[in-house]
Amino acid sequence: MTTNPEPGVARPMMLTQQQALWLELMPFYTREAWLLDERRFRQWLDLFTDDVLYFMPRRKNVPRRESHREMTPLGDLAIFEEDKRYLEMRVARLDSGMAWAEEPASRTRHLIGNLEAELLESGEVRTKTAFLVYRSHLETDHQLLSGCREDLLRKTDGGWKVARRTIVLDANVLLDKNLSVFL
């Protein structure tokens, strides 16, 4: 005979490996969003490996039968194709006060969701997230960017770090004056 647990008493729940990984990674992405929104860019840089590739291909309108050409490959003309050193230079420029497009600084809100994660045999994790980034600058300048990010995460002594990020915007034409925020 089995007895029912007492009302109000929580029973331990068994998580799958996939669920546990999701629960481990979502705070990482939430912390990254807050670091960006609070303009703590030096701490944000610490979330990347030294050999990171930060890549945003251009997106083109192509017929369905040519969908393989929709995004530019590595080495072709891209919006971003940066390493850690270049990311550090962008952050230093923002800190210098000489980035005129960011004087005064933009206010941003990064919303990250729809996390999917796949543990690879190497121990690294391939993730995909959706994002919405709202940017407000001065009185009338604002933009809303949406898309997805595909990351390769590597576990280090300090926790998870991004070893590769590919950012795919939903729009193929950016009508904004600049793209001076991090996605």
Q: What pLDDT shows up at residue 61? A: 84
- pLDDT for position 70: 82
Asked if 143 contacts 128 with a C-beta cutoff of 8 angstroms, the reply is no
**Is residue 3 pLDDT above 80, yes or no?**
no
Strand order in the sheet with 125-137: 78-82, 48-57, 159-169, 141-156, 125-137, 107-119
The pLDDT value recorded for residue 88 is 97
Do the beta carbons of residue 135 and residue 107 sit within 8 Å? yes
Q: What is the pLDDT of residues 116-138, one digit of tens each?
A: 999 999 999 999 999 999 999 88
CATH class of the domain comprising 22-169? alpha beta
Percentages helix, strand, coil for the chain (3-state, rounded to 5) are: 25, 40, 35
Comparison of pLDDT for 157 and 149, the residue scoring more: 149
Q: What is the pLDDT of residues 50-106, one digit of tens each?
A: 999 999 999 888 889 988 888 888 988 888 999 999 999 999 999 888 888 888 888
- Under the banding of pLDDT at 50, 70 and 90, the label for residue 2 is low
> Which residue blocks in 38-150 are alpha helix, DSSP H?
41-45, 84-96
Over range 157-163, report the average pLDDT. 94
Tell whether omega for the bond before 104 is within 30 degrees of 0, i.e. cis: yes
Query: Average pLDDT in the 158-176 region?
Result: 91
Residue predicted with more confidence, 61 or 144: 144
Element spanning 21, H or E: helix 17-37
Q: Are the C-beta atoms of residues 162 and 48 closer than 8 Å to each other?
A: yes
CB burial class (10 A; 0-12, 13-18, 19+) of residue 131? buried
Domain boundaries, the chain: 22-169
Residue 25 has pLDDT above 80, yes or no: yes
